[in-house]
């Protein structure tokens, strides 16, 4: 698999991946994450416009197998962490958000991590308490649980960090 910038031409496939990812969440007991139309088409279009949207595609090309946002810079909701602490709260970092793939696709998280760690040695992520699949992937790839952050909506998320350098 390889990663490339997402384009507006990818939008229909990306939105289908979002629906499938939401289905994976629901079937695994995660009923509260990605509700109320999140992530919206408009948000993903904004990711793409800002250069934050990426897709994972087969090595030989073809339709996207996964979508994610990779954003370097400050994530405001990460400024305050509760019941723990960031491993490194001061160095520049990147975040991964909105990872969506189809249930039959394997190795996507490996591809996302290869991409992200090639660009930044300090990664921060968060997920819903009920998203056990994502928590497993974070820990499997060396992230450490750091504490709890709250989204702008007030929703709680478990926060993780990986430092590779």
Helix (H) or strand (E) holding 160: strand 156-163
pLDDT at position 165 is: 80
What's this model's pTM, rounded to 2 decimal places? 0.93
As a three-state string, the secondary structure of 88-156 is: CCCCCCEEEEEEEECCCCCCHHHHHHHHHHHHCCEEEEEECCCCHHHHHHHHHCCCEEEEEEECCCCCE
CATH number of the domain bearing residue 26: 3.40.630.30
The whole-chain average pLDDT of the chain stands at 95
Q: What is the pLDDT of residue 37?
A: 86
Of 23-32, 117-126, 131-140, 155-164, the one with minimum mean pLDDT is 23-32
Q: Is residue 44 within 8 Å of 127, Cβ to Cβ?
A: no
Q: What does the pLDDT average to over 1-26?
A: 95
- Please state whether beta strands 156-163 and 144-150 pair in parallel, antiparallel, or not at all (unpaired): antiparallel
Give the percent of the chain with pLDDT over 90.
86
| pLDDT tens-digit readout, 45-80 | 999 999 999 999 998 878 999 999 999 999 999 999
Q: Is pLDDT at 18 greater than 90 in this prediction?
A: yes
Is pLDDT above 90 for 35? no
Q: What is the pLDDT of residues 71-118, one digit of tens each?
A: 999 999 999 999 999 999 999 999 999 999 988 888 999 999 999 999
Number of domains in the chain: 1
What domain range is 115 assigned to? 2-163
């Amino acid at each position: 698999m390889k990663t490339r910038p997402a384009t507006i031409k990818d939008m229909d496939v990306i939105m289908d991946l979002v629906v499938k990812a939401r289905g994976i969440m629901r079937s695994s007991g995660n009923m509260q994450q990605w509700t109320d139309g999140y992530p919206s088409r408009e948000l993903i279009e904004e990711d793409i416009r800002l250069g934050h949207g990426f897709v994972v595609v087969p090595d030989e090309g073809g339709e996207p197998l996964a979508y994610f946002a990779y954003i370097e810079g400050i994530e405001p909701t990460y400024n305050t962490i509760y019941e723990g602490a960031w491993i490194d709260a001061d160095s520049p970092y990147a975040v991964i958000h909105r990872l969506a793939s189809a249930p039959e696709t394997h190795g996507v998280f490996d591809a996302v991590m290869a991409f992200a760690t090639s660009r930044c040695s300090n990664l921060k992520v968060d997920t819903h308490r009920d998203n056990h699949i994502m928590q497993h992937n974070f820990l499997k790839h060396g992230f450490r649980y750091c504490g709890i952050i709250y989204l702008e909506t007030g929703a709680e998320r478990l926060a993780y960090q990986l430092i590779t350098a």
